[in-house]
Chains A and B, each alone.
Chain A
């Protein structure tokens, strides 16, 4: 599956009858605009470092112009030399100025075709088309940029050809599948109100990191000593310092005001991020599978065939859970903007999530009569003891160090030991919230106390089963069950060994009944 994208020699094109096509000419403009972005930093660098010279501004502009011209020139040649051909069985892209590369991706291997529009292409009506094959290392084929119509057409053509191919290869299948275009059915959408609530829960401090980063950047170029620690200490505590000059009440008030600002800025950041990312969030059920569209300036449009969903994850946060809000993700081999799992319902009530999971062939709760089971009690005790011993050893080391150096009372090392005891208590406590369950079709793992995470894997879609036991586990009768899942990880530590074997037997029995190649039907 990983070698889906293979190079095929140029003479091999006899089968295809289609014309080689070029990407949209306006994509040159997008590339030029993007290269201007790249030119900004060198421009700023030149400007700031030479700003005492009268010609600094011209030098900076000249560099910008040079970069833009160069990239326009290269871009044009590269554009002339890049063609794509939609053949009978595959899509081919030939590219390269000096060295030519021809890549062929068979339709059968294309998992999803996703369309993505960031701000500038969107203004120009262009779209980036990405063919997801599940190949690792960002090796997916992408065409940048095509017109929106061409993108849609390509997607339809590939879906149609792909269906054609699968039907030819499996003639035994009866044809009562809904081949005729069923109207897309919206199964989940988020309106403005939902997004507002979602945004408030996505409290984020990223903006502070960005601001600090900008200051540091500015500092290196402009030698502005914003973050000079001495300056701050002077300002706060020095003779006639700012803070010490204020009364206690004022100090507390300003501290509270600071907290408030912190909270407001964090909330606004979260809100803005959510609005930008999830604006107009629509999840539809189409004949090809799930189709998700979202985004305010960067619009994305992703299709996920149902049978490619390997497992689902239900996540939540410790506050939003009080209000019943959860998020649903699909695990598949295809990538969703860098992360391995696709957000399909980032902020929804369980009553909305369960039907979506059901369409994908998953359940969020075990069948009636199946009970959640905990891990081994021995594992619970052992992991607590290990925490104590580990931090106890560190405490001994630190205590000895303090004793001989005489820097502080060696009893301070007791603090470290008490952290160890706290960690041990945490292990003892959290053990009560780690569950696993298996029913006829799925394996469930639920972890966590305040914000429990639920992983559900389909028994037949697992790839391998491993029972791993360390030296302690062998003596104390527990084991870690590690499951091979395409596109993700699923394991459970500290299962009683009989339970681990029972689970393995059950899962292997379901796997062996279905061959890998049948999974996609």
Chain B
């Protein structure tokens, strides 16, 4: 298996929206804080607002998109591959035969956008649970069924 990202399945585009909203919620207090500091007029105009706005824009617009493009997965015959990370890339493969149980989770934001996180649990100490967010809800359910069917078949 080579590392070319072409064979990876990208996540649902809504994943970008959800991560952007999360980033925006995170940046909001800092933006408000910078505006407050401007209003009280401690330092000349723009010392706080400009860098904070630029950084917030970067975090909200650019980073989620790059992270989205860095992420991907591949459902193989007998294994699930999950790739993520921009600076620190990690490429994890979990064989279906080693999956102990499977979760499909949806937060409120994810539900609004119809996506879900698939989590597979293994018995290993490292990678005890591998998360794959940003799947369309029905797809996550299907993947869960597929993995479960595979486990059952092998166990019988």
Contacts and interface: CB of A to CB of B under 8 A. Distances in A.
B125 A505 contact: no
B147 to A, nearest CB: 12
Interface string B108-138: 0000000000000011111110100000000
Interface string A446-475: 000000000000000011111111110010
A489 B93 CA distance: 16
Contacts, number: 101
A511 B89 contact: no
Interface in B52-108: 78-79, 87-100
A516 B78 CA distance: 13
B41 interface: no
Contacts of A464: 92-95, 98, 122, 124, 126-127, 130
A458 to B, nearest CB: 13
A505 B81 CA distance: 12
B155 interface: yes
A489 B155 CA distance: 26
B65 to A, nearest CB: 19
Contact of A517 (B90, B96, B155): B155
B98 A474 contact: no
B97 A515 contact: yes
Interface string A477-496: 00000111111111100000
Given A462-B124, A463-B123, A515-B97, A468 B88 contact: yes
B97 A485 contact: no
Interface in A362-415: none
Nearest to A491: B126
A46 to B, nearest CB: 46
Given A463-B98, A463-B123, A484-B125, A517 B154 contact: yes
Contacts of A36: none
The B interface is mostly helix, strand or loop, or mixed, namely mixed
Contacts of A273: none
B63 to A, nearest CB: 15
Contacts of B125: 484-489
A469 B89 contact: yes
Interface residues of B, number: 30
B88 A471 contact: yes
Contact of B97 (A470, A471, A482, A511): A511
A17 interface: no
A497 B1 CA distance: 12
B129 to A, nearest CB: 10
A200 interface: no
A65 to B, nearest CB: 47
A484 B127 contact: yes
A487 B87 CA distance: 29
A489 B128 CA distance: 11
A471 B85 CA distance: 10
A252 interface: no
Contacts of B154: 515, 517-518
Interface residues of A, number: 35
A486 B127 CA distance: 10
B132 to A, nearest CB: 13
Contact of A484 (B1, B3, B89, B124): B124
Interface string A233-273: 00000000000000000000000000000000000000000
B49 interface: no
A1 B100 contact: yes
A53 B91 CA distance: 71
B34 to A, nearest CB: 29
A180 to B, nearest CB: 29
A516 B124 contact: no
B79 A508 contact: yes
Contact of A516 (B90, B92, B93, B123): B123
Given A508-B95, A511-B98, A1 B2 contact: no
A103 to B, nearest CB: 21
Nearest to B3: A501
A501 B126 contact: no
Contacts of A516: 97-100, 123
A486 B124 contact: yes
A466 B93 contact: yes
Interface string A59-96: 00000000000000000000000000000000000000
B1 A505 contact: yes
Nearest to B130: A464
B124 to A, nearest CB: 3
Contact of B124 (A463, A474, A514, A518): A463
B97 A512 contact: yes
A501 B96 CA distance: 19
Ordered nearest first, which 10 A-B pairs have the shortest CB separation?
A484-B124, A463-B124, A515-B154, A463-B122, A466-B92, A515-B97, A486-B123, A512-B78, A467-B91, A468-B90
13 contacts: A463-B127, A469-B89, A470-B88, A471-B87, A484-B94, A484-B98, A484-B124, A490-B126, A501-B1, A512-B78, A514-B97, A516-B97, A517-B154
Interface of A: 1, 333, 462-471, 474, 482-491, 497, 501, 504-505, 508, 511-512, 514-518
Given A515-B151, A515-B155, 17 more contacts: A1-B100, A463-B124, A464-B93, A464-B126, A464-B130, A466-B90, A474-B89, A483-B126, A485-B124, A488-B125, A491-B126, A501-B3, A508-B93, A512-B96, A515-B154, A516-B99, A518-B154
